[in-house]
Amino acid sequence: MRLSRLAGALALLCAASVPSACTGSDAAPDSLVTRADERGALTVGIRFDQPGLSERTLDGRFVGFDVDVAKYIAGELGVDAEDITWKETTASRRETDITSGAVDLVVATYSITDAREQQVAFAGPYFHTGQDLLVRLTSSEITGPDTLDGRKLCAVTKSTSAQQVKERFSRAVELIEYPRYPDCVTALLAGQVDAVTTDAVILAGYAAQNPELLKVVGEPFSTERYGVGLRKGDTDGVARINEAIQKMIDTGTWDESLVRNIGPSGYALPPPPEVTQR
């Protein structure tokens, strides 16, 4: 009898359109929050090739600051690290991976821009950096983006980094594109290009791998705010991720991860960002 009365009361609540009484969550049915709650698992898009940020090791582990951020967010949504499926994404695929549902969220050095916000939603930012140049250690003549006229500059396909250099600083620079950052770094080491451009924190990881051959110029010329990408319109997901990022910062976990993963590269670690409600 008691169970019958309880079932009847729950039915009345559902009929009164109280979603939390029926689903266990007050988030929208298609929200990241609801998917995490119902499945107990998440698919996260990351890069597999960025030392210090997100990298798949030879033994199959995923390590780096972005990986730690993704794990922390998942944990705050009730998903254990072992229940995360890591999916490789690239600069040219991030929006498609989100909008197609191939991933639930993207944590992949994903700069928040107005153009991207036309297609996806962003939580954060969780990190600030700036665009810079990676050059050979012997390249003393390249001191900034305005010294690249007549030289070959490499960036990954569909990134805005190289085009920004051409439009703002060196119109006579020759732009070279490759699908991945390691391809650009290999071309730089082989003398096929003169510089690689993207965010300084990314470049620092590659410089740390080849300190006797490569260096970061050290003159950032943009401000990049890394956000967590998710489906457009998911206000519940954005709010919960922002709460998770803020908690990671407040507990000191954010700083610990940054020091452990990025500190060895020699990159000047920035203070925590101000997490904004978008």
Question: Using one digit for the tens of pLDDT, what is the confidence trace for 175-189?
Answer: 999 988 999 999 999
pLDDT at 25: 53
Say if 38 falls within a structural domain.
yes
Structural domain harbouring 76? 27-129+224-265
Say if 7 falls within a structural domain.
no
Predicted confidence band of residue 26 (pLDDT cuts 50, 70, 90): low
Give the DSSP H or E segment for 237: helix 235-250
CB-CB contact of 142 with 216 (8 Å): no
Is pLDDT of 19 > 90? no
pLDDT tens track for 141-177: 999 999 999 999 999 887 778 888 989 999 999 999 9
Is pLDDT of 130 > 60? yes
pLDDT at 161: 83
Predicted confidence band of residue 21 (pLDDT cuts 50, 70, 90): very low
Instruction: Note whether 161 and 78 are same-domain residues.
Output: no
The domain that holds 173 is classified in CATH as: 3.40.190.10
pLDDT at 260: 94
Instruction: Note whether 137 and 209 are same-domain residues.
Output: yes
Instruction: Note whether 67 and 176 are same-domain residues.
Output: no
Say if 201 falls within a structural domain.
yes
Instruction: Note whether 186 and 136 are same-domain residues.
Output: yes
Q: Final residue of a domain: which of 188, 216, 244?
A: 216
Residue 98, amino acid: I
The whole-number average pLDDT for the span 114-123 is: 95
Instruction: Note whether 73 and 176 are same-domain residues.
Output: no
Say if 6 falls within a structural domain.
no
Say if 44 falls within a structural domain.
yes
pLDDT at 278: 53
pLDDT at 99: 96
Give the distance from CA 150 to its chain's centroid: 32
pLDDT at 24: 43
Say if 278 falls within a structural domain.
no
Is pLDDT of 205 > 80? yes
Instruction: Note whether 63 and 40 are same-domain residues.
Output: yes
Instruction: Note whether 37 and 101 are same-domain residues.
Output: yes
Predicted confidence band of residue 27 (pLDDT cuts 50, 70, 90): low
Of 88, 90, 80, whose CA–CA distance to 110 is shortest? 90
Instruction: Note whether 67 and 171 are same-domain residues.
Output: no
pLDDT at 8: 40
pLDDT at 219: 87
Say if 22 falls within a structural domain.
no
pLDDT at 277: 60
Strand boundaries in the chain, DSSP class E: 42-46, 49-50, 54-56, 62-63, 84-88, 105-106, 120-129, 131-136, 152-156, 174-178, 195-199, 214-216, 224-231
Q: In this structure, what token pair is assigned to residue 47?
A: 């890069």
Give dist(CA 151, CA 169) in Å, integer. 13
Domain count, the chain: 2
Instruction: Note whether 181 and 122 are same-domain residues.
Output: no
Instruction: Note whether 105 and 150 are same-domain residues.
Output: no
Rg (CA), the chain: 21
pLDDT at 74: 98
Half-sphere exposure of 26 (CA within 13 A, CB side): 3
**Which carries the bigger pLDDT value, residue 20 or residue 102?**
102
Instruction: Note whether 40 and 116 are same-domain residues.
Output: yes
pLDDT at 216: 94
Say if 273 falls within a structural domain.
no
